[in-house]
Amino acid sequence: MSSSALKFGDINIEPPTLYVLPGSFIVGLITAFLGAAFVAVNSNLALVRKAYITHPVVKIIEAVFFSILTTSTFYWVPKLFNECVTTENVQDDITDLLFNYDCPVGYYNPLSTIFFNTEGNAIRTLISNFETSEMVGA
């Protein structure tokens, strides 16, 4: 059985009403602008890369640099923005998916839980409907 397979239970969700339309339009506009900005930046960056990165060794150095940058970001962001949340109100079926990462026993770090889990487990923790009542800054 794959750990990335999601299993959705029966959840009582109210059907959306007309009140969600303004929020949907706002989210649509924001994502449209972000998508257009991404395409523009990526296209210009590709032109710059094509002009300056011509030697195979430079391509390897660039790949290693971005690999180290990505790994460091995923390590340091949960550490710098450490937010310890109590596990008291967390559903029992997802407690083994939580990472405490510099938090005391009985607490977990939401950012490290998202970053260090598989895709399926990260989504499972996000949609699990658990409540967090007490937060402790570290």
Average pLDDT over every residue of 122-138 = 61
Backbone angles phi, psi at 107, to 5 degrees: -130, 160
Phi-psi group of 6: left, alpha or beta (phi > 0 → left; psi -120 to 50 → alpha; rest → beta): beta
Give whole-number Cα distances, 118 to 19, 61, 91, 126, in Å.
34, 28, 19, 12
In the chain, % of residues over pLDDT 70: 83
Backbone angles phi, psi at 51, to 5 degrees: -75, -35
For residue 69, what are the contacts with CB-CB under 8 A and spacing of at least 6? none
Cβ 87 vs Cβ 136: under 8 Å:
no
Whether residue 24 has pLDDT greater than 80: yes
For residue 83, what are the contacts with CB-CB under 8 A and spacing of at least 6? 109, 110, 111, 135, 137, 138
pLDDT of residue 61: 93
For the stretch 30-55, pLDDT in tens is: 999 999 999 999 999 999 989 988 89
| Choice between 111 and 68, residue whose per-residue pLDDT is larger | 68
Taking every pair of Cα atoms in the chain, the longest distance, rounded to a whole number of angstroms, is 58
**Token digits of residue 113:** 């839980």
Average pLDDT over every residue of 79-101 = 85
